[in-house]
Amino acid sequence: MNYQPILDRIHAAIKPVLGEGKVASYIPELANVRADQFGMAVVDFAGNTYVAGDAQTRFSIQSISKLFALTLAFQREGDSLWSRVGREPSGNPFNSLVQLEREHGIPRNPFINAGALVITDMLASRFVNAENALVDFMRKLSAVNDIGYNRKVAASERSTSSRNAAMAHFMKSFGNMNNKVGDVLDAYCRHCAIEMNCVELAKSACFLANGGVNPWSGETVIDASSAKRLSALMLTCGTYDAAGDFAFRVGLPAKSGVGGGIVAILPGECGICVWSPALEPSGNSHAGSLALEMFTSITGRSIF
C-alpha cells in the first residue's frame, strides 16, 4: 500500500497544532528541543519507506527504549521474566511508588520506569555492558550502524535520577534488584539517551508486526506468538497512564517516550513512527497521538 498520500494529508492537517503542549523540561537537553518539529515514517516489510516532515531528524528515544530493552531481555529470559515484572496497566502516573509498595516490589509492567529498571537489571546480569548491548540491538533492528546514545543527555538524566534511584533501592529492599543500583541507573539512563529518527524507529519496530522476524536480516528476533504478546502489552501499557484512551482513539500497539516519539505497528503490514516534542499531560506526544489517530481514521485500519 502507498502510504505517501496519507502521510502528506496528515502532515498538512497537523500543522496548526504543532507546538501545542509542553516539551519535557527536567533536563536541559530535552527542554531545548524546538517544540514545533514533526516527523512521521511508515516502513513496510519490503523496505518501502514513506515519510513526512522531520522524519530524518534524530531525537532522544527515551522510554521507547523500554520496548526494545524488554525484547532483548525476553530473548534471554523467556517467560521467567514475568516473575519479576507484571503485565498489567499501572493505573497510576508512570513513576509512582505507591503501587510498588502494595505489590511487594514487583512493578506492574516493563513499560513504567520501575519495570524498565528491573529489565535493565536483567540485562546488566546477562551482558558485560548493558548499554552497548541495547545499542547493538537497535543497530541490527534498524539496519543502521551509527546509532548511539548521547553522553550529555545520559549524564544529565543520571544527575536527576533521584526518583528512579528511590525505586531501584526500594525494589532492592524487596529482593527484586540484583546488580548495584548505581550501575543499573547508569545503563538505564544511557538507554533513554539513545538517539534515532522516525525512519530508523519505524524500521526497528517491523519485526513485531512481522511475526517476530527482522525483515532486513531475515533473523527471528522472537517467535511469532511472543511478537503478538509483546504487541498486546504495548496496547495495554505502552503509553503511560493514557493507554486506555490511546487504544480507544488510535487502536494500535504503540510505545511512546517523553522525547516526543511514538513507535506503533500495524500487525502484518508495517512499522510506524511519529515524532513531535510537545507533550500532552500524560507524557505522550500531542501531535504524534493526533497523527496516529488520523492514520487509523483515514486508512480505516486498526487492530479492532
Choosing from 240, 250, 255, 276, the catalytic residue is 240
Does the footprint of its own copies cover residue 148 (CB under 8 A)? no
165 interacts with its own copies by CB under 8 A: yes
Residue 233 and residue 107: Cα distance in Å, rounded? 14
Beta bridge partners, 264, equal 254, 272
- Strands across the sheet with 148-149, in order? 59-60, 194-196, 148-149
Candidate list 101, 183, 219, 223; residue touching its own copies; CB under 8 A: 101
Closer CB to its own copies, residue 14 or residue 242?
Answer: 242
Q: Which is nearer to its own copies, 56 or 103 (CB)?
A: 103
Residue 258 is a catalytic residue: yes
DSSP string, 270-292: EEEEEE-SEE-TTSSBHHHHHHH
Does position 156 bind its own copies by CB under 8 A? no
Residue (of 132, 131, 107, 192) closest to 158 by Cα position: 192
Q: How many CB atoms lie within 10 A of CB 141?
A: 28
User: Is 140 considered catalytic here?
Assistant: no
Q: Choose which of 28, 78, 91, 281 interacts with its own copies (CB under 8 A).
A: 91
Residue closer to its own copies (CB basis): 37 or 63: 63
The whole-angstrom separation of Cα 68 and Cα 286 is 23
Is residue 26 flagged as an active site residue? Answer: no
Nearest 5°: phi and psi at 17?
-95, -5
Stretch of 48-56, 116-124, 163-171, 189-197 contacting its own copies, by CB under 8 A: 163-171
66 is catalytic: yes
Report how far residue 294's alpha carbon sits from residue 197's, in angstroms, rounded to the nearest whole number.
Answer: 21
The runs of H, that is alpha helices, within the chain are 4-14, 28-31, 64-77, 98-102, 113-126, 130-142, 151-159, 162-173, 181-192, 198-209, 224-237, 243-249, 286-299
Active site residue 63: yes
Q: What's the gap between Cα 65 and its chain centre?
A: 5
The grid coordinates of residue 161 equal: 535520577
Instruction: Kindly name the residue from 63, 96, 156, 276 that is annotated as catalytic.
Output: 63
Pick from 90, 24, 37: nearest CA to 243: 90
Q: Is 83 helix (H, G, I), strand (E, B) or coil?
A: helix
Among 60, 65, 96, 289, binds its own copies (CB under 8 A): 96
Q: Residue from 87, 126, 139, 140 that binds its own copies (CB under 8 A)?
A: 87
| Per CB under 8 A, 256 contacts its own copies | no
- Binding to its own copies in span 204-243, by CB under 8 A: 225, 227-229, 231-233, 235-237, 241-243
Which of residues 53, 253, 261, 271 is near its own copies by CB under 8 A? 253
State the cell numbers at 48. Answer: 518501502
- From the candidates 51, 66, 85, 172, which is the catalytic residue? 66
Size of the site for its own copies (CB under 8 A): 50
Q: Name which position in 85, 167, 194, 292 contacts its own copies (CB under 8 A).
A: 167
Q: Residues in the site for its own copies, rule: CB under 8 A? A: 86-92, 96-99, 101, 108-109, 162-163, 165-170, 172-173, 181, 225, 227-229, 231-233, 235-237, 241-245, 247-249, 251, 253, 267, 297, 302-304
Positions annotated as catalytic residues are 63, 66, 188, 240, 258
